[in-house]
């Protein structure tokens, strides 16, 4: 007995077109999936499973690629990169974190180095390029050792021995910051790392020290996190950098008829929106409108609700109100009539800093507002500069300070902001741990020489790994020398001669190897973290014995 295809419905023209359309859609979806898969595979840079000799090659090539990308932008005379994102955003930067972030590659080794850079930026706010260059050099040198037969576990053990010794040497070579000049040197050197001009770095160091001095006058020498108390604002305009005691917000009042100047005023801070929301009256959204009176009742309910909100703010006695969310226009009008200055749609970080500065608690509009929830400000003034509005908020005996950067060109503005960020981060670390090490490649060169001497005390193949660890650290002064225009062999030879004579020296912007006097310092904590993080990242990479592509 046969079954007719027509009876089954498959000979119907409509069904045939449906099947064809369905097949076409399926084929298009498969093509799209295949294109996506090929795109991802291309970004990974690995076409098939990799192990043994192929793995060594992959590690070596990936580390060289990332190192070549960063070394030319390292140090005060480093070059900038133009990075064009897939969305056609253009970045012109020498900042290591930005360069690393924008690399659209999923190769396992490069991904590990990107994670290293991100962790350094998150923990220290600086030292990303130092850590990645050291890590890439360690991988490159490990690949050489693996080519001559050393097992990765032997290299990892040798690197760990070198790290332990480097840790001890760094502590021995560290210098306690005991004067303003030493602190100025750390901050200025951190700023120079972003490629700005020396006179700009000196101005930034002066500004950060001035800000730090204000905070110390109030807080003494007790431990504080400087990043929690310093706000940086960047704007396009006539070039200047200034330190302002107090909080500055680049915000405009909610209405132009609100007061622009207040003295000795109470401060109220509100989290969320101050507006009518339907869920307050009808959370289930099951309201029925049977006649024309119902919309009017709803509107009257909204008005009553908004009047209650307005009156609660007015009755609190606060004349300066900050709101994280949106404020209804009718509430704005009521506050303006009662001489209240309102700012809305504020960033959470700004809200937190204003709260610290004024002592105000951040409340919801539905909370009961007590007197002790309010903060206090000595003065609040709205100022218009370059067609932009700024609120200057002053509170006596408070820690918040603002650094305002004005620069006529967007690229220059970004570079100076990066320099200020690094200066503040280094100052913050010096506050936590007032230790420094000699800069300009000096401490890395000393570490490399001492580790080579230490390697002679080690028996076994780990000795070779310690020597290559020393070579990786020496890559920092070599890179600095290349970027200022020195022959790296000549520079290393001069540094070695000075080292043998017991003279501290560094790579200088004057294209010379000079004695480290007056001294140039780097933060001990950031340098230590860079060496430790780089070694740990490389150890994890060396433990990989195979790259496996998941089959689709």
**What's 381's domain CATH number?**
3.50.7.10
DSSP 207-269: HHHHHHHHHHHHHTTS---GGGTEEEEEEESSSEEEEEESEEE----SSTTS-SEEEEEEEEE
Report the pLDDT value the prediction gives residue 49, as an integer from 0 to 100. 52
First and final CA of the chain: distance in angstroms? 42
Report the pLDDT value the prediction gives residue 77, as an integer from 0 to 100. 79
Q: At 450, which CATH number?
A: 1.10.560.10
Query: Would residue 288 count as lying in a domain?
Result: no
Distance, CA of 521 to CA of 443 (rounded, Å): 10
Q: Determine contact, residues 529/166, Cβ cutoff 8 Å.
A: no
* Nearest partner of 258 among 349, 144, 342, judged by Cα: 342
Query: Would residue 475 count as lying in a domain?
Result: yes
468 and 393 share one domain:
no
Query: What is the CA 238 to chain-centroid distance, rounded?
Result: 27
Q: 433, 453, 488: which is the final residue of a domain? A: 433
Q: Is the peptide bond before 518 cis (omega within 30 degrees of 0)?
A: yes
483 and 495 share one domain:
yes
Edge-first strand order for the sheet with 240-245 is 230-236, 401-407, 240-245
pLDDT of 192-248, one tens digit each? 877 788 888 888 888 888 877 777 766 665 556 677 778 888 888 888 888 888 889
Report the pLDDT value the prediction gives residue 14, as an integer from 0 to 100. 45
69 and 88 share one domain:
yes
Sorted by sequence, the CB contacts under 8 Å of residue 537 that are 6+ apart come out as 112, 113, 115, 116, 131, 135
Distance, CA of 114 to CA of 334 (rounded, Å): 52
SS3 state at 457: coil
Distance, CA of 154 to CA of 539 (rounded, Å): 11
Query: Would residue 19 count as lying in a domain?
Result: no
Q: At 235, which CATH number?
A: 3.30.260.10
Report the pLDDT value the prediction gives residue 34, as an integer from 0 to 100. 47
253 and 391 share one domain:
yes
111 and 185 share one domain:
no
Query: Would residue 109 count as lying in a domain?
Result: yes
Query: Would residue 425 count as lying in a domain?
Result: yes
pLDDT tens, per residue, the chain with 552 residues: 344 334 434 334 444 444 454 555 444 544 444 443 444 344 444 555 555 556 677 778 878 888 888 888 887 777 777 777 666 666 677 777 777 776 666 667 777 888 888 888 888 888 888 999 999 999 999 999 998 989 999 999 999 999 999 999 999 999 998 888 888 889 888 888 777 888 888 888 888 888 777 777 666 655 566 777 788 888 888 888 888 888 899 999 999 999 999 999 999 999 989 887 654 445 455 555 555 445 666 667 677 888 889 999 999 999 999 999 999 999 999 999 999 999 999 999 899 999 988 999 999 988 888 988 999 999 999 999 888 899 999 988 777 888 888 888 777 777 888 888 888 888 888 888 889 999 999 999 999 999 999 999 998 999 999 999 999 999 999 999 999 889 999 999 999 999 999 999 999 888 899 998 888 899 999 999 999 999 999 999 888 776 555 555
Beta bridge partners of 249: 391
Report the pLDDT value the prediction gives residue 550, as an integer from 0 to 100. 58
**b or e along 144-160 (b: 16 or more beta carbons within 10 Å of the residue's beta carbon)?**
ebbeeebebebbbbbbb
Q: Is the peptide bond before 409 cis (omega within 30 degrees of 0)?
A: no
Query: Would residue 292 count as lying in a domain?
Result: no
Domain count, the chain: 3
335 and 426 share one domain:
no
Q: What length does the chain have? A: 552
Distance, CA of 198 to CA of 192 (rounded, Å): 7
Query: Would residue 20 count as lying in a domain?
Result: no
Report the pLDDT value the prediction gives residue 278, as an integer from 0 to 100. 55
* Nearest partner of 322 among 334, 335, 311, judged by Cα: 335
252 and 393 share one domain:
yes
Backbone angles phi, psi at 384, to 5 degrees: -105, 120
Q: Determine contact, residues 376/333, Cβ cutoff 8 Å.
A: no
Report the pLDDT value the prediction gives residue 7, as an integer from 0 to 100. 40
Distance, CA of 449 to CA of 443 (rounded, Å): 10
262 and 390 share one domain:
yes
259 and 361 share one domain:
yes
Query: Would residue 283 count as lying in a domain?
Result: no
Q: 433, 453, 484: which is the final residue of a domain? A: 433
pTM over 0.85, yes/no? no
Q: 382, 417, 433: which is the final residue of a domain? A: 433
73 and 196 share one domain:
no
- Structural domain for 272, as ranges: 247-278+300-397
Q: How far from 101 is each of 105, 366, 532, CA to CA, in Å?
A: 10, 42, 21
218 and 144 share one domain:
no
252 and 242 share one domain:
no
């Amino acid at each position: 007995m046969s079954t007719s295809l027509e009876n089954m419905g498959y000979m119907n023209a409509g069904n045939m077109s449906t099947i064809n359309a369905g097949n076409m859609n399926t084929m298009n979806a498969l093509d799209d999936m295949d294109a996506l898969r090929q795109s991802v595979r291309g970004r990974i840079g690995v076409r098939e499973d990799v192990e043994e000799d192929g793995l060594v090659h992959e590690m070596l090539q990936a580390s060289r690629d990332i190192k070549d990308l960063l070394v030319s932008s390292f140090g005060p005379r480093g070059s900038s990169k133009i990075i064009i994102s897939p969305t056609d955003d253009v970045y012109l930067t020498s900042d290591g974190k930005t360069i690393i972030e924008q690399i659209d590659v999923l190769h396992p080794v490069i991904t590990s180095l990107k994670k290293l850079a991100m962790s350094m930026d998150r923990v220290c706010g600086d030292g990303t390029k130092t850590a990645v260059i050291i890590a890439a050099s360690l991988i490159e040198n490990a690949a050489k050792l693996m080519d001559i037969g050393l097992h990765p576990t032997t290299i990892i053990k040798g690197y760990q021995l070198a790290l332990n010794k480097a840790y001890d040497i760094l502590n021995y070579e560290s210098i306690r910051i005991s004067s303003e000049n030493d602190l100025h040197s750390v901050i200025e050197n951190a700023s120079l790392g972003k490629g700005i001009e020396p006179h700009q770095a000196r101005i930034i160091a002066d500004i950060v020290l001035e800000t730090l001095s204000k905070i110390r006058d109030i807080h003494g020498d007790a431990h504080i996190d400087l990043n929690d108390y310093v706000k940086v604002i960047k704007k396009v305009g006539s070039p200047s950098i200034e330190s302002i005691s107090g909080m500055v917000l680049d915000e405009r009042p909610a209405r132009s008829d609100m007061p622009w100047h207040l003295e000795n005023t109470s401060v109220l801070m509100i989290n969320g929106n101050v507006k009518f929301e339907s869920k307050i009256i009808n959370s289930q959204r099951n309201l029925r409108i049977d006649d024309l009176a119902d919309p009017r009742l709803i509107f009257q309910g909204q008005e009553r609700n908004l009047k209650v909100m307005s009156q609660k703010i007015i009755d609190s006695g606060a004349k300066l109100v900050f709101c994280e969310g949106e404020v209804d226009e009718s509430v704005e009008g009521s506050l303006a009539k009662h001489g209240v200055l309102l700012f809305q749609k504020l960033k959470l970080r700004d809200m937190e800093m204003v709260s610290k500065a004024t002592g105000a608690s951040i409340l919801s509009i539905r909370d009961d507002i007590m007197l002790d929830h309010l903060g206090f400000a000595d003065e609040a003034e709205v100022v218009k500069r370059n067609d932009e509005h700024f609120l200057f908020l002053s509170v006596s005996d408070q820690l918040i300070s603002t650094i305002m950067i004005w620069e006529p060109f967007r690229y220059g503005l970004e570079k100076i902001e990066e320099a200020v960020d690094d200066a503040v981060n280094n100052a913050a670390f010096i506050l936590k741990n007032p230790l420094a090490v000699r800069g300009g490649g000096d401490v890395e060169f000393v570490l490399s020489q001492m580790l080579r001497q230490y390697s002679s005390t080690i028996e076994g193949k780990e000795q070779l790994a310690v020597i290559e660890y020393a070579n990786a650290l020496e890559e920092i002064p070599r890179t600095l020398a290349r970027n200022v225009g020195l022959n790296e062999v000549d520079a290393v030879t001069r540094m070695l001669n000075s080292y043998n004579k017991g003279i501290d020296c560094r790579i200088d912007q004057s294209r010379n190897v000079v004695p480290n006097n007056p001294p140039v310092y780097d933060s001990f904590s950031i340098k230590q973290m860079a060496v430790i993080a780089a070694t740990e990242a490389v150890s994890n990479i060396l433990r990989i014995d195979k790259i496996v592509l998941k089959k689709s």
